[in-house]
Amino acid sequence: MSAILEIDHVTRRFAGLIAVNDVSFTLNEGEILGVIGPNGAGKTTLVSLISGTLAPSSGDIRFQGHSITALPAFRRARLGIGRTFQIMRPFPGLSVLDNVAVGALFGHGKGTSDLEEARKKARRHLEFVGLDRFADQRADELGGPGRKRLELAKALAMEPKLLLCDEVMAGLNHVEIDEVIDVIRKVRDSGITILVIEHVIKAIKSLSDRLLVIHHGEKIADGEPDAVLSDKTVVEAYLGKRRA
Amino acid sequence: MDLLAQVLINGILLGGLYAIMALGLALVWGVLNIVNLAHGAFIMLGAYLAWHLYHYLGIDPFLGLPITAIVMFGVGYAVQRGILNLIVRAPMFNTLLITFGIEVVLTYLAQLAFSADFRTINPSYAGSNIAVGPVVIPTVRLAAFGVAIALTVAMWLFLLRTKLGRAIRATAQNLVAARLYGVEPRHLYAMTFGIGIGLAGVAGGLYGTVSQINPYIGATLTAKCFAIAIIGGLDNPLGVIVGGLVLGIIESLAILYIGATFGDVASFGVLVLVLIVRPSGLLGRTA
Amino acid sequence: MSIWTRIAIAVVIVAILAALPWFGSDVVVQFGISTLILAVLAQGWNIIGGYTGYASFGNSTFFGLGAYGVAIAMVQWHLPFWVGMVFGAAMAVAFAILLGLPVLRLKGHYFAIATLALAQVVAAIVSNIPLFGQNIGLVLPPLNNDAMFYELALALLVAATLTVAWLTRSRFGFGLIAIRENEEGAAVMGVNTTLYKVMAFALSGLFSALAGGIQAYWITFLDPASAFDISLNVKMIIMAVFGGPGTIFGPVVGAFVLSAISEVLSSEITSVAGLFFGIVVVAAVVLMPRGLADIIRHFRTSGWRYFIQNVKAHRI
């Protein structure tokens, strides 16, 4: 297994606050890495640092062996890094289909420049996440669960090598979570490496090959899901000292 | 050196007037998120009101300011309640367009009612000066400066200390907050706009004492108010004092050292630079 | 309507418009020229404002630079008109690229105001440069051929509209729309947002500049006040928004309708025409905030309630 993503002592400070503090880890090709941590632990910041919407204050990020720390977000997207947003931000005025078509038009490599081909691809991705019935609706008419799936379809249409999923299961019911887990597994089977940020521990445990725990911006555990979840510091961070 | 001192004094006096001109625009922008393109036209209306009070009723321009303020407050309250509240949640283009439409209407109404002739408010003391060493300070400009600064500080205290002021400030962050203060949002918005226009009225009254007025002065004044609000930031009413002074001094210096036609270049050039370097204003919070 | 029916209708309308100088009176042709120029400006603004979502108040600057390009080439350098058009367009595009880079980083009101301020700066600088005729202005050699100006303006409008139509079907246009709808979302999907915004600004500037060039040669006089008139910029925004920003024909229809209204008003009630224009703008923003195009789309289903729904959606 070779490393596709290397996070090397990355720190991000905001005015008076350290959101991500000296975090290092590697993500291997074909792996599903789960990242968990309490609210405000710095998980979303981490995704933004990898996707390039935020720049690290220090440290280096390497993708397929090359440093991408200085690259703007769109260049990283073209290298093959796709992400979903926790706060779902579709292109509200565009149809669901065209939202996904943007991913196919741009995305990894340079995308296609043929609109019809992009829409054809987009339709396939909508089918894949189970949204094809809503293809012609405006994106802002979708409900919460629909938007979560749309975020996934948009990112998948970019045909990424690495997919960053920021809380794609939050707010979904059990049935919907199982469906999304299924989709993510299928994505991995198609050869895409995945980093999943999640709040729902049960879901992420069954999904991930490896778990990473972040607390107050620092990495406090990294390893096999079962081992990590029984780790004393992790239990304390998550459940509070009393129950530990 | 004497010339430079004189120019600086002129710039500072002008800056005080600029501050109160921009105060209402900054308040409305910060709280209602409406950039009021008609702000300068309301200043123009205030100036005409003061002119009429002086010429037909013989009311001293400075003593007439409270009347101007109250009348213009009423106009502002009505405009917000009757028109602008209808589009408060519309996209930015639309708020810009509607206030531009109001600007056009006000300018034409003024032209019909007052003709396009230049007017000045000339009280008996208009020509008097105070000499401080080599520097000459025109009394009227000094008085206008004093009133402007005093009102800006009073406005700051109002926003900081009174219940209504706090409600207005809270609303700048979020509309629901207004209800927490027991104020109905529609009323609060109209009060805020009314206060903004009342301040524009006072600014107009003061402007009329130091400069000529005609129905078309509004657009340029609006543009300058923007510049001041941006330089000073929207977070603090005292910011407009800094913004006003910066603009007043830069304009005066540019006119002296580069040429009379460069006053506006300098002020708008500074605006663009500030926007690019620090979009939240010189004094504003960093994003 | 199939795409071919629409194309057929568009071709017929353009043919009728193109034939106008042969049967219309001089007054009608002159009204036509000024309306077509305004329509080009509205369509040009549509690229940066309607499709990319950046409310530019700097397009009147492009117009002015285009006008001065023609005036300087013809008056100062005694070059032919078309060289002036190229020169003016080049100045506008260069301006869009150089100033677009910093200014397009600003969002919302801040971008609007920065472009507004830039327009003032350019106007003031130009009025101090001898080559530009300073405050006095430049007088161009008169060409008494309104039919030519009319056809030129019509051709430019057709070119601008075809460009916008191409946008709606191209990768570039999709990138612009993605930027308008959600700029950060566009960037993480691989859209080079900076490059696209600057290109949209430059394209928008190109059409505005060419319109300015035609206007200058037609009017045969140019000074800073008329070349860099801010209210012209507001007019193009109003026309685009009135017709429907971000649509292919909205800005053109908006320009035609509003020009016709203001023409009728100024001939019927000369003194208060401007007043009515202002009132029309206020009423339009309140009652139909998404333009004529949106009315056509929704009026059939909601009828008169459409207007009430609009007011209800945006008031507090």
pLDDT in tens, B251-263: 888 888 877 777 7
Report the alpha-carbon distance of residue B220 to residue B41 in Å, rounded: 10
Interface contact C187-A73, CB threshold 8 A: yes
The confidence score (pLDDT) of residue C270 equals: 64
Tracing tokens 């000066």 back to the chain, one arrives at: B129
Q: What is the ipTM of this complex?
A: 0.89
Q: Which of A147-156, B68-77, B92-101, B114-123 is most confident?
A: B68-77
Residue A85 inside a domain? The answer is no
Q: Which residues face A58 on adjacent strands?
A: A11
Residue B51 inside a domain? The answer is yes
CATH number, domain with residue A66: 3.40.50.300
Indicate if A72 and A119 belong to the same structural domain.
no
Residue B69 inside a domain? The answer is yes
Residue B130 inside a domain? The answer is yes
| Residue C122 near residue C98 (C-beta atoms within 8 A) | no
Report the alpha-carbon distance of residue C210 to residue C156 in Å, rounded: 8
Tracing tokens 């304009």 back to the chain, one arrives at: B251
Query: Averaged over B19-26, what is the pLDDT?
Result: 92
Report the alpha-carbon distance of residue B35 to residue B88 in Å, rounded: 11
Instruction: List chain C domain ranges.
Output: 27-255, 269-316
Specify the number of domains making up chain A. 2
pLDDT band at B285 (very low <50, low <70, confident <90, very high): very low
Residue B245 inside a domain? The answer is yes
The confidence score (pLDDT) of residue B265 equals: 77
Indicate if A136 and A42 belong to the same structural domain.
no
| Residue B12 near residue B144 (C-beta atoms within 8 A) | no
Residue A17 inside a domain? The answer is yes
Which tokens belong to B161? 């200390």
Residue B286 inside a domain? The answer is no
The confidence score (pLDDT) of residue B220 equals: 82
Least confident piece of the model among B243-247, B279-283, C152-156: B279-283
Cα four-point dihedral sign C218, C221, C222, C228? negative
Report the alpha-carbon distance of residue B42 to residue B21 in Å, rounded: 10
Tell me: the pLDDT tens digits for A109-160? 777 788 889 999 999 999 998 888 898 988 888 887 888 889 999 999 999 9
| Residue B87 near residue C285 (C-beta atoms within 8 A) | yes
Task: Tell which residue, A158, A159, A152, A164, has the closest CA to residue A5.
Answer: A164
Q: Which residues face B136 on adjacent strands?
A: B131
Tracing tokens 């051709």 back to the chain, one arrives at: C155
Indicate if A100 and A10 belong to the same structural domain.
no
pLDDT at A243 over 50: no
Which tokens belong to C13? 């309308």
Using the 3D structure, point to which of A157, A174, A207 is the last residue of a domain. A157
Residue A123 inside a domain? The answer is yes
Q: Which residues of C touch A72 (CB under 8 A)?
A: 187, 192, 194
Indicate if A10 and A72 belong to the same structural domain.
yes
Work out the mean pLDDT of chain B and round it to a whole number: 86
Tell me: the pLDDT tens digits for C192-207? 999 999 999 999 999 9
| Residue C46 near residue C245 (C-beta atoms within 8 A) | yes
- The secondary structure element, H or E, covering residue C295 is helix C291-302
The confidence score (pLDDT) of residue B286 equals: 39
Task: Tell which residue, A100, A96, A203, has the closest CA to residue A158.
Answer: A100
∠ CA A8-A13-A16, nearest 5°, is 155
Structural domain boundaries enclosing B24? 2-277
Interface contact B86-C311, CB threshold 8 A: yes
Least confident piece of the model among A26-40, A47-61, C265-279: C265-279
Cα four-point dihedral sign A191, A195, A200, A204? positive
Indicate if A59 and A151 belong to the same structural domain.
no
Structural domain boundaries enclosing A26? 3-80+161-243
Share of chain C above pLDDT 90, in %: 54
Q: Closest approach of chain A CAs to the CA of C246, in angstroms?
A: 11
Indicate if A188 and A67 belong to the same structural domain.
yes
pLDDT band at B287 (very low <50, low <70, confident <90, very high): very low
Comparing A231 with B199, the larger pLDDT belongs to B199
pLDDT at A220 over 70: yes
Burial class for C141, CB neighbours closer than 10 Å (0-12, 13-18, 19+): exposed
Residue B53 inside a domain? The answer is yes
Report the alpha-carbon distance of residue A231 to residue A223 in Å, rounded: 10
Integer-rounded Cα Rg, in Å, for chain C is 20
Reported as half-sphere exposure (CB side, CA atoms, 13 A), residue B49 has a value of 27
Task: Tell which residue, C91, C73, C72, has the closest CA to residue C83.
Answer: C73
The confidence score (pLDDT) of residue A244 equals: 40
**Is C16's Cβ below 8 Å from some Cβ in B?**
no
Specify the number of domains making up chain B. 1
Using the 3D structure, point to which of A157, A172, A196 is the last residue of a domain. A157
Residue B282 inside a domain? The answer is no
Indicate if A23 and A140 belong to the same structural domain.
no
Work out the mean pLDDT of chain C and round it to a whole number: 89
- The secondary structure element, H or E, covering residue A162 is strand A162-166
Indicate if A169 and A126 belong to the same structural domain.
no
CB atoms within 10 A of CB B97: 25
Which tokens belong to B177? 């907050």
Cα four-point dihedral sign A146, A151, A152, A155? positive
Task: Tell which residue, B160, B157, B155, B152, has the closest CA to residue B241.
Answer: B152
Which B residues, 103 through 132, put their C-beta within 8 Å of a C-beta on chain C? Answer: 103-105, 107-109, 112
Q: Shortest CB distance from C278 goes to which of B86, B108, B112? A: B108
Which tokens belong to B261? 């036609």
Q: Coil, strand, or helix at residue C249?
A: coil
Separation of CA B190 from chain center: 18
Least confident piece of the model among A228-237, C65-74, C86-95, C137-146: A228-237
Indicate if A180 and A68 belong to the same structural domain.
yes
Q: Shortest CB distance from B259 goes to which of C128, C282, C286? A: C128
